[in-house]
Amino acid sequence: MAQGLLTDTRLSPLPAADAALVAQLQQGSEVAFRTLVARYQDRIYQTAFSLLRSAEEAEDVAQEVFVEVYQTIGRFRGEAALSTWLYRLATSRALKNRQRARAKKRFAFFTSLLGFNNETLHEPPDHGHPQALLEGQQQLQLLLAHIARLPDQQQVAFTLRHEQELSYEEIAAVLETTVSAVESLLFRARQTLRKHVNPLLRHV
Amino acid sequence: MSDSAAHSNSDEAWDDLMGQLAAQPKYQPQPFFYTRVQARLAAQSATPPILGWLRRPAYAVLLGALVLMLSGDGSALRPAVGVVHDNASPR
Rg of chain A over all Cα atoms, to the nearest angstrom: 19
CA-based torsion, B82, B84, B88, B91: positive or negative = positive
Higher-pLDDT residue of A4 and A117 is: A117
Per the CB < 8 A criterion, the answer to whether A43 and A113 are in contact is no
- Nearest residue of A to residue B44, measured between CA atoms: A67
Helix (H, G, I), strand (E, B) or coil at B28: coil
Nearest by Cα to B31 from A47, A59, A131: A59
Contacts of B30 in chain A (CB under 8 A): 59
pTM exceeding the 0.90 threshold for the entire prediction:
no
Chain B residue closest in CA terms to A191: B14
Query: What is d(CA A173, CA A184) in angstroms, rounded to the nearest whole number?
Result: 15
- Largest separation between any pair of C-alpha atoms in chain B: 111
Mean pLDDT (chain B) is 75
**Nearest beta carbon to residue A45 from set B17, B22, B28:** B28
Q: Choose the closest CB to A66 out of B26, B28, B37.
A: B37
B chain contacts of residue A190, beta-carbon cutoff 8 Å? 14
Q: Give me the DSSP letters along B15-31.
A: HHHHHHHHTS----PPS
Could you count the other beta carbons within 10 Å of the beta carbon of residue B31? Answer: 8
Evaluated on CA atoms A82, A84, A86, A89, the torsion sign reads negative
Q: Is B7 on the interface with A (CB under 8 A)?
A: yes
Question: A162 vs B18: CB contact, 8 Å cut-off?
Answer: yes
| pLDDT-derived band at A4, boundaries 50, 70, 90 | very low
Q: Where are the alpha helices (DSSP H) in B23-56?
A: 33-46, 49-54
Length of chain A: 204
B21, B36, B41, B45, best to mutate vs chain A, most A CBs in 10 Å: B21
Evaluate if residue A154 carries a pLDDT over 80.
yes
| First and final C-alpha spacing in chain B | 111
Residue A161, Cβ neighbours under 10 Å: how many? Answer: 21
pLDDT given for residue A186 in this prediction: 97
Q: Please tell me the distance from the alpha carbon of residue B2 to that of residue B49, in angstroms, as a whole number.
A: 67
- What sign for the dihedral angle of Cα A79, A82, A83, A87? positive
In chain B, which residues have their Cβ closer than 8 Å to the Cβ of A197? Answer: 17
* A194 to B14: CB separation less than 8 angstroms, yes or no: yes
Please tell me which of the candidates A34, A59, A67 has its beta carbon nearest to residue B29. A59
Contact A90, A136 (CB under 8 A): no
Q: How confident is the model at residue A31 (pLDDT cuts 50, 70, 90)?
A: very high
B2 interfaces chain A, CB cutoff of 8 Å: no
CA distance A148 to A101: 14
- The pLDDT value given to residue B74: 55
Q: Which has the minimum average pLDDT: A33-42, A70-79, B22-31, B48-57?
A: B48-57
- 3-state class (DSSP) for residue B30: coil
Residues A97-100: contacts with CB under 8 Å, at least 24 apart: A97/A52, A97/A57, A97/A60, A97/A61, A98/A51, A98/A52
Q: How far apart are CA A43 and CA A166, in angstroms?
A: 11
- Report pLDDT for B66: 82
Chain A within 8 Å of B4 (Cβ-Cβ)?
no
Choose from B37, B41, B45, B56 for mutation: most chain A CBs within 10 A: B37
pLDDT confidence of residue B11: 84
Q: To probe the interface with A, which of B16, B38, B44 has the most A CB atoms within 10 Å?
A: B38
pLDDT of residue A38: 96
> How many beta-carbon pairs below 8 A join chains A and B?
80
Domains and CATH numbers, chain A: 1-125 (1.10.1740.10), 128-198 (1.10.10.10)
Residue A148 has pLDDT above 90, yes or no: yes
Asked whether residue B79 carries a pLDDT value surpassing 90, the answer given is no
